[in-house]
Amino acid sequence: MTQLLRVQNFGVSSDGIGAGEHQSLENPFGLDHSGMFAWAGATASWPMRTDPGGSRGLDDYFTRDYPRNIGAEIMGRNKFGPYRGPWKDLEWQGWWGDEPPFHTPVFVMTHHTRPSLTLSDTTFHFVEGDPATVLEQAREAADGKDVRLGGGVTTIRQFLDADLVDTMHVVVSPVTYGSGLRLWESPEELLDRFHLDVVPSPSGVVHHLFWRK
Amino acid sequence: MTQLLRVQNFGVSSDGIGAGEHQSLENPFGLDHSGMFAWAGATASWPMRTDPGGSRGLDDYFTRDYPRNIGAEIMGRNKFGPYRGPWKDLEWQGWWGDEPPFHTPVFVMTHHTRPSLTLSDTTFHFVEGDPATVLEQAREAADGKDVRLGGGVTTIRQFLDADLVDTMHVVVSPVTYGSGLRLWESPEELLDRFHLDVVPSPSGVVHHLFWRK
């Protein structure tokens, strides 16, 4: 079986911006992006859900597909924490708490490596290398399953530029940010290499489903 | 965890007809319904697929959700075979071949029981009883997982009338049959008990996603 590299549930604003400026320890996504995740939080299969409710319509197909056949994740350093440059505090264990929602090995791309870190059933490995090299490591760890590319924008752009992404699910929210890290000017930029289904959801977001031609 | 009863990938015509008249050994769905399954056959995750191609857009989310967390299926006798009344030929092992696509216990509802039948990793049990009783048996066999309600129309109507269905995915194709077994006059009949997302697919079918209020 082919091991796909999949982007899933990645949120951007209507102007294509994924992560705001001014990221900090208190604001992992920079400026207020809470509205960009409301669609997921309303579903029955949202991994952070603590009560038994939630919708089981279109949006729930996307949240419940999140762990399906995933054996590893790749993320940029900024999805692990806000710090730049050499690590100053190895005691700080990232934004994801004692029970990270990944449940697989996670490869954090960084120029500043540090020892691997295990929290519950998630192990973070800190790796340096180009996208193809890191993908090779993640595929081996995934043991035949697919690899999720977790973001942020800079990391996804790197893998798109190297033509390593097989499928990509981007959720466009009806908000505009104007400035910040931009995934695209328009989704049509990718149509030379990808098929695209554009699926408006009753919740107000528009799911963009890309798969390699 | 709650064990849901789920209808999945159930196809009807634009006038709500699921199984045609004149069902026979050669024509499991009665009159020609092949157009109603084209959307599924085009996807990468279609269980009957024999080549590595196929789309990975919206429709593929539905075909790949088909086995997720399913531990048993319930079906009407007419989904197993065309014969009515007492079994005349126990050698005939149903429509599903040596490798049925279910991979779980399957409970076939019939007034004419016969010994259970195992084909590869699917075992068909032939059971008599009202919907609630059969669901209880299927839930026990599903071992904590959900139960799929496989159809046909008559069986789904029975479980809807008994208010036992938790989620229902019905795929409406742009064909009209005029006569045959009818799931509904209109999907709006179910809105007193279910939420509904109506999701048109680029393939031309319209996915109807119901979940219990």
pLDDT mean over A151-175: 95
Identify the weakest region by mean pLDDT among A4-8, A46-50, B70-74, B102-106.
A46-50
pLDDT category of residue A108 using cuts at 50, 70 and 90: very high
Residue A22, judged by CB atoms within 10 A of its CB (0-12, 13-18, 19+), counts as: exposed
How many beta-carbon pairs below 8 A join chains A and B? 55
CATH fold of A5-38+68-85+99-212: Dihydrofolate Reductase, subunit A (3.40.430)
Report the residue from A2, A58, A64 with minimal CB separation from B199. Answer: A58
Identify the weakest region by mean pLDDT among A120-124, A156-160, A184-188, B20-24.
B20-24
Q: Considering only CA atoms, which of A52, A39, A7, A23 is closest in space to residue A146?
A: A7
Report the residue from A2, A65, A195 with minimal CB separation from B61. Answer: A65
Q: Considering only CA atoms, which of A46, A200, A209 is closest in space to residue B61?
A: A209
pLDDT mean over A34-50: 85
Q: Considering only CA atoms, which of B104, B108, B105 is closest in space to residue B95?
A: B108
**How confident is the model over B147-185, as pLDDT tens digits?**
999 999 999 999 999 999 999 999 999 988 888 889 999
Cα A149 to Cα A152: distance, rounded to the nearest angstrom: 9
Give the pLDDT confidence score for residue B82 in this predicted structure: 81
Question: Which chain B residues are Cβ-neighbours of A55 within 8 angstroms?
Answer: 195, 211
Highest mean pLDDT among A8-12, A22-26, B69-73, B79-83: B69-73
Q: Are A148 and A72 in contact (CB under 8 A)?
A: yes
For the cut 90, the answer to whether the pLDDT of residue A129 exceeds it is: yes
pLDDT mean over A188-207: 97
Give the pLDDT confidence score for residue B128 in this predicted structure: 95
The domain limits of chain A are: 5-38+68-85+99-212
CB contact under 8 A, B211 and A52: no
Give the pLDDT confidence score for residue A47 in this predicted structure: 82
For the cut 80, the answer to whether the pLDDT of residue A159 exceeds it is: yes
Which residues have CB under 8 Å from B172's CB, separation 6+? Answer: B11, B12, B13, B14, B187, B205, B206, B207, B208
For the cut 60, the answer to whether the pLDDT of residue A19 exceeds it is: yes
pLDDT mean over A109-125: 95
Q: How many residues does chain B have?
A: 213
Whether the CB of B201 is below 8 Å from some CB of chain A: the reply is yes
- Percent of residues in chain A assigned helix, strand, coil, to nearest 5: 20, 30, 50
CB contact under 8 A, A2 and B52: yes
Give the pLDDT confidence score for residue A38 in this predicted structure: 86
Report the residue from B56, B167, B199 with minimal CB separation from A211. Answer: B56
Q: Which residue has the higher pLDDT, B32 or A5?
A: A5
Q: Indicate the DSSP class of residue A150.
A: -
Give the pLDDT confidence score for residue A32 in this predicted structure: 54
Whether the CB of B196 is below 8 Å from some CB of chain A: the reply is yes
Report the residue from B56, B57, B211 with minimal CB separation from A55. Answer: B211
Disruptive mutation site among B209, B210, B212, B213 for chain A (greatest number of A CBs within 10 Å): B209
Identify the weakest region by mean pLDDT among A32-41, A157-166, B165-174.
A32-41
Whether the CB of A97 is below 8 Å from some CB of chain B: the reply is no
pLDDT category of residue A88 using cuts at 50, 70 and 90: confident
Instruction: Report the sign of the C-alpha dihedral through residues A146, A42, A187, A178, in that order.
Output: negative
Give the pLDDT confidence score for residue B33 in this predicted structure: 60
pLDDT category of residue A67 using cuts at 50, 70 and 90: very high
Residue A107 β-bridge partners: A74, A125
pLDDT category of residue A175 using cuts at 50, 70 and 90: confident
Pairing verdict, β A167-172 and B167-173: unpaired
Instruction: Note the pTM of the prediction, 2 decimals.
Output: 0.91
Cα B95 to Cα B97: distance, rounded to the nearest angstrom: 6
Cα B43 to Cα B40: distance, rounded to the nearest angstrom: 6
Cα B118 to Cα A7: distance, rounded to the nearest angstrom: 39
Question: Which chain B residues are Cβ-neighbours of A207 within 8 angstroms?
Answer: 58
Give the pLDDT confidence score for residue B191 in this predicted structure: 98
Segment holding B75, helix H or strand E = strand B70-76
Segment holding A11, helix H or strand E = strand A5-12
Identify the weakest region by mean pLDDT among A28-42, A54-68, B38-52.
A28-42
Give the pLDDT confidence score for residue B35 in this predicted structure: 67
CATH number of B5-21+31-85+99-212: 3.40.430.10
Write out residues in chain B with pLDDT < 70, as ranges. Answer: 1, 19-35
Question: Which chain B residues are Cβ-neighbours of A145 within 8 angstroms?
Answer: none
**HSE toward the beta carbon, residue A67, CA cutoff 13 A:** 14
